[in-house]
Structure 1
Amino acid sequence: MVETRDFDILSPGFHANPFLTLDRMRAEGPVVPMRLPIVGRTWLAVTHDACATLLKDHESFARDPANAGSRTQARILRVLPRSLSLLALNMLGHDDPEHRRLRGLFDQAFQRRTVEAMKPMITQIADRLLDKMEGRPEVDLMTEFCRDLPLSVICAMLGLPEQEHDRFKSWLGGLKDTANIGAVLRAIPGVIRAVRHLRRVSRQGGGALPDGLIVALRDAETDGQKLSEDELVSMIFLLFGAGQETTTHLISGGLFALLSHEDQRRRLQSDPSLMPTCVEECLRYVSPVQMTKPRFATRDMVWQGRQFRRGEMFAGFLAAANSDPAKFEDPHRFDITRHPNPHLSFGTGVHFCLGFQLARAEAAIGFERILSRFPAMRLAIEAQKIEWRKRLGIRALAQLRVQLVT
């Protein structure tokens, strides 16, 4: 058995400055063996080429471990409370043809609304949050803007009444340190409450607004098939997590990058047409989602110059792929004019992020509205003293305190 490597990829120090560690990982080769907290022994694809190949090759690498000969996940799911085990029923945990069926039902529901049509709503929410900051000398953008904006957007998109938004924030607030088994266990009661409430609200007469995605998903049908209630709840929870947390860290990390690179912030403010390439560079440079969900080798094979056995676990380390000098010129540099920018922050292949356009729109609107309202805003403390959370696979600021200088 190949000896695992001991790279720090979850401490606050790593998240504050990940690039040197990522360079050392790539120097080991395209795939690096690691022993990850909770997850266990995993091969991380750390070059852009290896990561993209891993995510696109669904014949050699399965998302469902059962398709690689493992029954471990099935055994674990059998002993978990139903409110937790059903969360594995969303499309992310499946391979085709089940993945195709679930994604088809989602696409049918999602196509009823376009991101372009949602932009006025996103702008209205952003302005409402910024109104609350007016006249205050200093705020924590993480709690008062970066987290609330995507939370309110996803709740509105799902069709959840506005008075329930704070409840979900409270229930899911414990999922901040997924590298700590104790913190994960303490967060379980809140997750269970959220899942049970979503089950109630997703039923006929449960309170979901008629023009929201919950009702659209409940009514979606292809080839005579509809989502079961468990699949519906699992899908809603996936959208809640994917649509809220990851966008939170894109907006907060992107604002931090702009505020700590004054030349880039000034360039964006003087030329708003740079916003699309700015958002793409934030996706690459920040890499808020640092690692993909695991894949499992479906057969014994030689891949990337190594021999692997069926059932071995892999993950794409997106942060390393996004800073690969073989793909990006001067990858340590934050450059809002970078083009082309073939980052993998939304993944690739059949599991490409379904909310990519929404995330881009929320980030662009969030950046534009806050920089317009508070054009002289600056960090309240030195960039080097900003605190990051201890997280596995997510790059998350603990706070983002700014002075709203006007």
Structure 2
Amino acid sequence: MRAPTLEELAPRGHDLAAEPFPVLAALRAEGPVHRVHVPGSGDAWLVVTWEAVRAALTDPRLRNDIRHSAGWETDGGHAVGRNMLQSDPPDHTRLRRLVAGRFTPGRIAALRPRIETVARELLDRLPRTGTADLVSGYALPLPVTVICDLLGVPEADRAAFHTWSNELVVPTGEEAAAASAAALTGYLTGLVAEKSRTPDDSLLGELTTAAGAPDDGARLAPEELLGMAFLLLVAGHETTVDLISATVHSLLTHPDQLALLRADPDLTGAAVEESLRYNSPVHAGAFRFAAEPLELAGTRVAAGDAVLVSLAAASRDPLAFPDPDRFDVTRRPRGHLAFGHGAHHCLGAPLARVEATVALRLLLQRHPGLALATAPEDLTWRTSTLLRGLTTLPLRLG
């Protein structure tokens, strides 16, 4: 008999996509680990307290490589190539080292002028007054442009790339996800081949020179190159889209906090940090699998069992964050787990922070009368096992 899904644990009529936090809070009140069913993936242990999530993220017995799963022959979804997110040390360490230098705070700070230029250009395209969708007009094209610039994806290909990426992250169906995986694999294979023939100074151009047998610790096998391109492109923008739009949504639905931010623009970085905690764009980390029998926060986990860490639940844990369901731009939410923890801590965290901070500051400067153009309850949230974000965010710009 399978375990219940989160939807089945929610009260009748409750919109779990719009408001997952009460359901997660109810589970957290009962204990740190629960058996749940994840549609499309099977049963898993869901970890919901800050302390237990943090411990799970650093437990060497929990592996990201799906080959440790009891059902790995038929599980795995539609990943493209072999990437860092699905690897463990020492492979993960080698792969991360190849790109980590491009995502240091110093390197990302050097990108800030370009990020500001892109944000201003996008704001110029929005009407000065009237209504517009923040997601499609601003929150999406900003990080897509930046990560595609960084990796060297031609401008003409970016719309198609995002369509494939979005289907993989929040699939609408098994066939559509498989078709998008095939299309994205074919596209990236061709792009990598083009970079190999005509090297450039993009990150993908650099990575093609490291392709080959990974015999010296500094080279990429062909499937690793493909996986690296896939992970950086998809992870490099999907979560930031959700972060920008959710931050604006939280400010507009908490006018007292918006007033504080308008009175003191230096709080912009703090507002983004609080949104990371409060909204958790990465709803749960990637599946981990028990490489051996273990005890997790008092729960026995069998070898091969899947474990899912709820970053959203951990970042609303009252034992870690007082009054956790209050959005407070003056809070200093040290220790939130929005970017994960341990060896798999998000490589792109510095980039996401800069993009969101720039996007928010320039948007509020340009449109001081910003307001929601629809009732908050009419908004639609897209959700998957991993991510949560708004599909659209209609705004009045006057």
TM-score by length of 2: 0.91
Is contact 1:255–1:367 with CA below 8 Å preserved after alignment?
yes
Is contact 1:12–1:389 with CA below 8 Å preserved after alignment?
no
Aligned to 1:73: 72
User: 273, 276, 281: which one pairs with 1:288?
Assistant: 281
SS at the partner of 1:139?
A: strand
Deviates more, 1:366-375 or 1:155-164: 155-164
Q: Structure 1's 75 and 134: CA in aligned 2 closer, same or farther, altered over 3 A? A: closer
Aligned to 2:29: 27
User: 29, 42, 49: which one pairs with 1:47?
Assistant: 49
Is contact 1:289–1:395 with CA below 8 Å preserved after alignment?
yes
Question: Structure 1 residue 317 and structure 2 residue 318: aligned?
Answer: no
Q: How far apart in 1 are the matches of 2:364 and 2:264?
A: 12
Q: How far apart in 2 are the matches of 1:344 and 1:136?
A: 37
Within a 5 Å distance, the mapping from 1:240-259 to structure 2 comes to 240-259=233-252
Q: Structure 1's 67 and 205: CA in aligned 2 closer, same or farther, altered over 3 A? A: closer
Q: How far apart in 1 are the matches of 2:249 and 2:227?
A: 33
Sequence identity (%):
35
TM-score by length of 1: 0.89
Is contact 2:288–2:306 with CA below 8 Å preserved after alignment?
yes
Is contact 2:104–2:350 with CA below 8 Å preserved after alignment?
no
Q: Structure 1's 32 and 112: CA in aligned 2 closer, same or farther, altered over 3 A? A: closer
Deviates more, 1:234-243 or 1:155-164: 155-164
Q: Structure 1's 243 and 26: CA in aligned 2 closer, same or farther, altered over 3 A? A: same
Within a 5 Å distance, the mapping from 1:343-354 to structure 2 comes to 343-354=336-347
Within a 5 Å distance, the mapping from 1:2-401 to structure 2 comes to 4-8=3-7, 13-58=15-60, 60-67=61-68, 70=70, 72-74=71-73, 87-108=80-101, 110=103, 114-175=107-168, 177-178=170-171, 183-203=173-193, 205=195, 210-220=200-210, 223=216, 225-401=218-394
Deviates more, 1:191-200 or 1:165-174: 165-174
Q: Structure 1's 153 and 102: CA in aligned 2 closer, same or farther, altered over 3 A? A: same
Deviates more, 1:298-307 or 1:97-106: 298-307
SS at the partner of 2:46?
A: strand
Read off the aligned partner of 2:188 and give its amino acid letter. Answer: L
Read off the aligned partner of 1:34 and give its amino acid letter. Answer: V
Q: How far apart in 1 are the matches of 2:385 and 2:261?
A: 31
Q: How far apart in 2 are the matches of 1:259 and 1:151?
A: 24
Q: Deviations over 1:169-191 (max 9, x none)?
A: 3333434643x5xx242133233
Q: How far apart in 2 are the matches of 1:67 and 1:35?
A: 19
Is contact 1:174–1:184 with CA below 8 Å preserved after alignment?
no
SS at the partner of 2:286?
A: coil
How many aligned positions are there? 392
Report the Cα offset of residue 25 of structure 1: 1.0
Deviates more, 1:131-140 or 1:206-215: 206-215
SS at the partner of 1:402?
A: strand
